[in-house]
Amino acid sequence: MAASDPSSFAHALAQAAGARAVVSIDEADRVAYARDLWPKHLVALRAGHAAGTRPRAIAWPTSTEEVSRLVAWCAREGVPIVPYGAGSGVCGGVLPDERTVVVDLKKMSRWRDLDPLGPTLDVEAGAIGVTLEEDLQRKGWTIGHFPSSILCSTVGGWVAARGAGQTSGKYGKIEDMIVDLELVDGAGEVARLHRRVGGLDLTSLVVGSEGTLGIVTSARLRLHAAPQARGFAAFAFPTTEAGWEAMRAIFQRGLRPAVARLYDPFDAAIARAGSAGSGEAHGPRDTGLKALALRTILKLPRALNGAIQLMEEHLPDGYFGSMLVLVFEEATAAEAARGVDAVKDVARELGGRDLGEAPARKWLSHRYAISYRQPPTIRSGAFLDTMEVAATWSNLGPLYRDVRRALGEHVFVMAHLSHAYPDGCSIYFTFAGSADGEAAATARYERAWRDALDAAIGAGATLSHHHGVGRSKAPKLPLELGVGIDVLRAVKRAWDPKAILNLGNLFPPEERDAPPLAGSDAPQPSAVTVDVKSLLARAPASTKLSEVERAARAVQASLRLDTAMLDVTVGAWLDAGCPGAVDPYDDPVDHAVAGLDARLPDGRVLSVRPAPRRAVGPDPMALVLGARGRFATPLSATLRIHRDGAAIVCSGATAIDRAAPETAGEARLLEAIRVQLGA
């Protein structure tokens, strides 16, 4: 049994971890590690509550061996663990209790192997993003991952949250950059997991797991040659919808601007007005007056949102309200210029007005201006948060309107669109509110989130594109994942048999009398249907790919598969890992399967709704694609089709092995899942 005396406990923990590991029970450390940057925490912090509960101890291991020993000891003693990167998460993924050991990985930041032939870098999970990227660029490389939190986030945190960076339009999200991962599971066992093309890919279960399935100790990441030239473009459109139609056309034609950000009229006006952070107050009296005015205005969100909507609906003819900012990153100035010329053609066709380079250059110069500072809104006594959801292009309009309406009942809201893909896009809502006192502010904040998440689900969206779930979105996760929640719980039981890893995070509490989870009786299609706007085709698993191709050809599109491949069924193709599909290393922004339904061994149906990208925990499709029926039987799938004439994308040559042999660690983890699922 773990020692009850704090100093004895710390000594036992240090002994278990190893001589080089550091352990602290200092009160200041315990307060510092009691939370992440969840805005709900910040409301309490402003009210003088520095930490609701504090961890029992903090440990700083220096190697995978020390992490393994530490986890094994905690598993034996029944001590909960919370893995910790840099604490920049905004969803409540870090909330230890008084029994918990927080494991901070920042002493593990070494480069293990830089392979210029891959090119890849194996780097430990505690590496801070900005330092890592700057060091790589001095050697001529880039990861291509630039989250707004790059100054205060780690590689392990990127993986845990399934993060996205500002240049995702060229390089993809973090899951597209991973080649393999080293994981310490909940028993303290170490495993190396490989990303595979055309085979089982367990990295998809680790990415987005938010410290609940294991502790990532290193990641091998795909590298690109650092860009030698940038191209800048910006366009104004009369409406937000007109702007996202331009984004859709750009990505569906095979263009890949590294940055593509569309601001709605109010957000565009803010962007045009000045640099980020220019609203800083200049004196005590000014600060007090501005804070009072802001709090007062934000207590009337309906009136404020209504006034802005009225303004947008009655803009004078010829006024261009929304703004699209684009940045290309290429090897040569000529390539960058070709990209700019191509998007100018698209914008011109769709009624956009050329704003020149200045807005895009301005965005780039201020890209991290507010990423690590407490916003003035928080200091004024109000609260501020962001909600990043994603949907197919067909569902984007309802998503934009319904979430805005739901949030607008409680808070002031504005939006921009970023992280676009051929089949859909992410919308990033920023909202602010105010109420008298901590309890009232917290209640308003929670109502806004509850109603907005319900609206997103109703619009067919995924609840998170890149911030993850934490405790913020966990209560609504069953509405999106349905039976998938039980599948992921089974994986947790398999990999964390003593249930010690980040308890209370990601998974909503199990309710004894809860109604059956969605998906058990999911209706299946009887024929191929095509979503032309999103370039998606849904088909029964028994349908031959030739039938899907025929439906695609009817709308001037194609699966882009070899003729010989078209004779197999959709189900067999999924079981085999989608052979012949677009290589994800060639085009990290695209994917072959947007969603699927599959029957589990207990007869229930796992349903993964179509989305361009999702960050709602581990991806349960990992247990279907390339699994050869080992864990589930495909019933239907939503597949990507490609518009005729669209450019074929190749993001750079790579010698990365797409079909690495199964490791002993993978075999062990797979068998544990099989037992839990009864497969």
pLDDT digits (tens, 9 = 90+) for 392-417: 999 999 999 999 999 999 999 989 99
The radius of gyration of the chain from alpha carbons, rounded to an integer in Å, stands at: 24
In angstroms, the CA 211 to CA 186 distance is 10
With beta carbons less than 8 A apart as the criterion, state whether 70 and 215 touch. Answer: no
- Is 166 among the domain residues? no
- Is 522 among the domain residues? no
Candidate from 136-150, 278-292, 304-318 with smallest mean pLDDT = 278-292
- Is 13 among the domain residues? yes
pLDDT for position 300: 72
The residue out of 418, 437, 458 marking a domain boundary is 458
Total Cβ atoms within 10 A of residue 285: 9
* Residue at token pair 């053609």: 345
pLDDT for position 317: 58
Looking up residue 596, the CATH number of its domain turns out to be 3.30.465.10
153: tokens are 């986030």
pLDDT for position 636: 98
Same domain, 568 and 669: yes
pLDDT for position 306: 79
User: Is residue 565 scored above 60 in pLDDT?
Assistant: yes
Same domain, 299 and 380: yes
Q: What is the pLDDT of residues 215-239, one digit of tens each?
A: 999 999 999 999 999 999 999 999 9
Q: Is the peptide bond before 119 cis (omega within 30 degrees of 0)?
A: yes
Pick from 622, 639, 641: nearest CA to 630: 622
Summary mean pLDDT of the chain: 91
Same domain, 440 and 578: no
Same domain, 437 and 567: no
Same domain, 435 and 545: no
Identify the H or E element spanning 445.
helix 438-458
Same domain, 418 and 276: yes
Same domain, 296 and 393: yes
User: Is residue 185 scored above 80 in pLDDT?
Assistant: yes
pLDDT for position 471: 96
Which of residues 46 and 276 earns the better pLDDT score? 46
Same domain, 641 and 550: yes
* 121 strand-pairing partners: 114, 221
| pLDDT band, residue 256 (cuts 50/70/90) | very high
* Residue at token pair 């780690």: 154
Q: Kindly state the DSSP code that residue 39 receives in the 8-state scheme.
A: H
pLDDT for position 282: 33
Same domain, 452 and 533: no
- Is 143 among the domain residues? no
Q: Kindly state the DSSP code that residue 524 receives in the 8-state scheme.
A: -
308: tokens are 């802005």
- Is 345 among the domain residues? no
pLDDT for position 19: 80
pLDDT for position 295: 65
User: Is residue 159 scored above 80 in pLDDT?
Assistant: yes
* Cα torsion angle, 443, 447, 453, 457, sign: positive
Going from the C-alpha of 610 to that of each of 21, 195, 505, 536, 643, the distances in angstroms are 44, 22, 24, 9, 18
Same domain, 421 and 542: no
Looking up residue 96, the CATH number of its domain turns out to be 3.30.43.10
| pLDDT band, residue 388 (cuts 50/70/90) | very high
State percent of the chain over pLDDT 90. Answer: 79
Q: What is the pLDDT of residues 105-120, one digit of tens each?
A: 999 999 999 999 999 9
571 — phi, psi (to 5°)?
Answer: -60, -45
429: tokens are 């809502």
* Tally of domains within the chain: 3
Q: Average pLDDT for residues 453-473, to the nearest whole number?
A: 97
The residue out of 438, 458, 478 marking a domain boundary is 458
| pLDDT band, residue 285 (cuts 50/70/90) | very low
Task: Please list, in sequence order, all residues whose beta carbon lies within 8 angstroms of the beta carbon of residue 37, skipping any fewer than 6 positions away.
Answer: 87, 88, 89, 90
| pLDDT band, residue 280 (cuts 50/70/90) | very low
With beta carbons less than 8 A apart as the criterion, state whether 413 and 430 touch. Answer: yes
Looking up residue 405, the CATH number of its domain turns out to be 3.30.300.330
* Residue at token pair 């864990």: 631
Task: Please list, in sequence order, all residues whose beta carbon lies within 8 angstroms of the beta carbon of residue 617, skipping any fewer than 6 positions away.
Answer: 208, 209, 210, 468, 469, 477, 481, 488, 506
* Residue at token pair 């890592």: 132
pTM of the shown model: 0.94
Q: What is the pLDDT of residues 299-350, one digit of tens each?
A: 777 877 777 777 666 666 556 689 999 999 999 999 999 999 999 999 999 9
Same domain, 429 and 333: yes
User: Is residue 276 scored above 50 in pLDDT?
Assistant: no
- Is 276 among the domain residues? yes
305: tokens are 């949102």
334: tokens are 């000529």
- Is 368 among the domain residues? yes
With beta carbons less than 8 A apart as the criterion, state whether 360 and 326 touch. Answer: yes
The residue out of 404, 424, 458 marking a domain boundary is 458
pLDDT for position 48: 74
Candidate from 138-147, 429-438, 510-519, 651-660 with smallest mean pLDDT = 510-519
- Is 668 among the domain residues? yes
Q: What is the pLDDT of residues 187-219, one digit of tens each?
A: 999 999 999 998 999 999 999 999 999 999 999
Helical H segments across 232-379, by residue range:
240-252, 265-273, 284-298, 301-313, 333-349, 358-365, 376-379
Q: What is the pLDDT of residues 520-562, one digit of tens each?
A: 667 899 999 999 999 999 999 999 999 999 999 999 999 999 9
In angstroms, the CA 497 to CA 510 distance is 17
| pLDDT band, residue 273 (cuts 50/70/90) | low
With beta carbons less than 8 A apart as the criterion, state whether 96 and 55 touch. Answer: yes
DSSP 220-254: EEE-EEPPSEEEEEEEEESSHHHHHHHHHHHHHTT
Parent domain of 422: 263-337+357-458
In angstroms, the CA 457 to CA 476 distance is 9
Same domain, 423 and 565: no
First and final C-alpha spacing in the chain: 35
pLDDT for position 290: 55
pLDDT for position 284: 35
Q: What is the pLDDT of residues 12-40, one digit of tens each?
A: 999 999 888 899 999 999 999 999 999 98
